[in-house]
Amino acid sequence: MARRLPALLGVVGAGQMGAGIAQVAASSGLQVVLVDRAATQLDRALQGMEASLSRLARKGAVQEDPSDVLGRLQRATDMEALAGADYVVEAVPEVEPLKRQLFQQLDVLLPPHAILASNTSSISITRLAAATQRPERVVGLHFMNPVPLMGLIELVRGMATSDETFEASQRLAAHLGKTTCVSQDRPGFIVNRILMPMINEAFFALMEGVGSAHDIDTGMKLGTNQPMGPLALADLIGLDTCLAVMRELHGGLGESKYRPCPLLVQYVDAGWLGKKSGRGVYSYSRSPSGSSGSGAQAA
């Protein structure tokens, strides 16, 4: 029998991606529980969702009152809050041991029918699934950033993913108003297999003095009709995430063209991770509350 939509959708990780996924799911009418071990992170996520929903409401992009949307959202610091979930999406940092450990924990906690989905941008779904006793119920559900505005979900099927799990995930994506592209379980999948080498090459161009950050971004933005230049996009994604994907590509495919740029490595080593840290390729003004402002200047 075909699975219906989840009665309760869980999201683990209340960072930018997890909060966005929770917001979109609650906006679609689903009951959602957002879990993060840090209460302060949950508070920041709620503030971000309130601001995002208010902006969307002013633009007429959502018809429902933001308070009604958030009324379908629970927040918790205890994983036990997920015990009744039918479908859980992990959105924790792009660190494979962390994700594997989380999936092992969820595998024990969740009911047998529940699906485990990873928002990983590059890590093997097959390997993550192997950490559980339900590999047939594990799938890749890679949302794009920022989740409320981007229309794509990359759907990744591991070697053991069942047809039932795959079809249930397709239905969920459609319910969330997203279009899916389907990728084989290969390093970087489709989007980051193509996108991240471009970002990495932009760092090589910056390191070698081919152009300033502003000129590289202006050239790519206007010369190829992209909404953002690659260096500004890297700051939005997070330079640590970009580096993690490049390392996954390099390690998984073994080709020198995927070697992470030393400048990208150096920025991450310095803690210059992009907008979320207040500085990356560009410097971002920060409000007294600590949230990044809209102004950006070349660092």
**Residue pLDDT, tens place only, 99-146:** 999 999 999 999 999 999 999 999 999 999 999 999 999 999 999 999
Q: Does domain 192-298 have CATH number 1.10.3720.10?
A: no
Amino acid identity of residue 200, one-letter, is: N
Return the pLDDT at 116.
98
Q: In this structure, are residues 5 and 30 in contact, taking their beta carbons and an 8 Å threshold?
A: yes
Return the pLDDT at 286.
60
Mean pLDDT, to the nearest integer, of 81-87? 96
Q: Helix, strand, coil % (nearest 5) of the chain? A: 45, 15, 35
Pick the catalytic residue: 119, 122, 124, 192? 192
The reply, when asked if residue 15 is annotated as ligand binding, is yes
Residue 12's H or E segment, with its range, is strand 9-12
Alpha helices (H) along 114-212: 125-129, 163-175, 191-207
Return the pLDDT at 182.
97
Return the pLDDT at 297.
59
Given a cut of 80, whether residue 293 has pLDDT beyond it is no
The reply, when asked if residue 177 is annotated as ligand binding, is no
In the chain, % of residues over pLDDT 70: 94
Return the pLDDT at 23.
98
Whether 121 is a known active-site residue: answer yes
The reply, when asked if residue 122 is annotated as ligand binding, is no
Instruction: Supply the pTM of this predicted model.
Output: 0.89
Whether 154 is a known active-site residue: answer yes
Question: For 21-30, how does the pLDDT look when each residue is reduced to its tens digit (9 = 90+)?
Answer: 999 999 999 9
Return the pLDDT at 4.
86
Pick the catalytic residue: 121, 122, 124, 183? 121
Residue 163: left if φ>0, alpha if ψ -120 to 50, beta else—which one?
A: alpha
Report the CATH number of the 9-184 domain: 3.40.50.720
The reply, when asked if residue 257 is annotated as ligand binding, is no
The reply, when asked if residue 119 is annotated as ligand binding, is no
Whether 289 is a known active-site residue: answer no
Given a cut of 50, whether residue 86 has pLDDT beyond it is yes
Buried b vs exposed e over 261-270: b needs ≥16 C-beta within 10 Å? bebbeebbee
Return the pLDDT at 14.
97
Return the pLDDT at 296.
59
Q: Would you kindly state where each structural domain of the chain is located, as residue ranges?
A: 9-184, 192-298
Pick the catalytic residue: 90, 118, 119, 154? 154
Return the pLDDT at 292.
43
Alpha helices (H) along the chain: 16-27, 39-58, 66-70, 96-109, 125-129, 163-175, 191-207, 213-223, 230-237, 239-253, 262-269
Q: How confident is the model at residue 169 (pLDDT cuts 50, 70, 90)?
A: very high
Mean pLDDT, to the nearest integer, of 144-172? 97
The reply, when asked if residue 221 is annotated as ligand binding, is no
